[in-house]
Amino acid sequence: MPWYFYALLSAVAAAATAILAKMGVEGVPSTVATAIRTVVVLVLAWAVVLSAGHQRAVLTVSSRTLTFLVLSGIATAVSWLAYFRALQAAPVSWVAPIDKLSLPLTIVLASVVLRESVTLQQLVGVSLMVVGALLVAR
């Protein structure tokens, strides 16, 4: 399957995540909801690793790679904890657009940190994303 299939699947799953998470944080602390979600992700991710036969690859992960994956995991945890707390405090239709500001922020960080080039078309698109997110979120 091409990369854009997985990107679209990710977008659809993320949309479902917002709705399901909003329904799931009712009557429970957001930290508990995040912890439950994290356990599910952990179990499913390892099930995929094992079913694909990739468990031996764990032994080949370099310390540099491990460091960046741990830092990414910390960022994910902060993101999920903040997202679930925001969902408890506001409607999903307000929270999700602000959360999606991660898209333009990612493009900016990719340009600065990874030295990826950014075209004028991308800059215009990123600007429209920011304006759109702010308009939708009130």
Distances from the Cα of 37 to the Cαs of 5, 17, 33, 34, 71, in angstroms?
A: 24, 10, 6, 5, 19
Query: What is this structure's pTM?
Result: 0.84
**Model confidence at 11: pLDDT above 90:** no
* SS percent in the chain: helix, strand, coil, step 5: 85, 0, 15
Q: Identify the residue whose tokens are 């702010």.
A: 134
pLDDT digits (tens, 9 = 90+) for 87-111: 999 999 889 889 989 989 999 999 9
Round to whole Å and give the CA distance between 48 and 20.
Answer: 22
Domain boundaries defined on the chain = 3-90, 100-138
pLDDT value for 49? 97
CB atoms closer than 10 angstroms to residue 46: 11
